[in-house]
Amino acid sequence: MNFFGYTIADWIPCEVCGATSTEIHHVGIKGMGGCKTMDNIENLIAVCRSCHNKAHAHEITKDELIKIHNDKIRTRH
């Protein structure tokens, strides 16, 4: 949230569809048991429940998520 200048009180849009985001998705698989190196801004994308389900069902590809997220990161700088 801090990277994009959001506070806990802000409305945060889903980076895929623009609806209210409710979850954070790891673009690259974090894996069972957790891996702290995957918890970085480049690998975390804010999504709504519907888009999160689509990402896990591969209806939204990893490449699509990476492009969407990288475009958002670039516009932040």
Residues 8-40 pLDDT 10s: 778 889 999 999 999 999 988 765 455 566 778
Query: Hey, where are the domains in the chain?
Result: 13-27+38-77
3-state helix, strand, coil in the chain (%, to 5): 40, 15, 50
Q: Give pairs for 3-7: CB < 8 Å, separation 24+.
A: 3/41, 3/76, 4/72, 4/76
73 φ, ψ (degrees, to nearest 5): -60, -45
Structure tokens at 18: 């623009």
Kindly report the pTM of this predicted structure: 0.76
Tell me how far apart the alpha carbons of residues 62 and 66 are, in angstroms, rounded to a whole number.
6
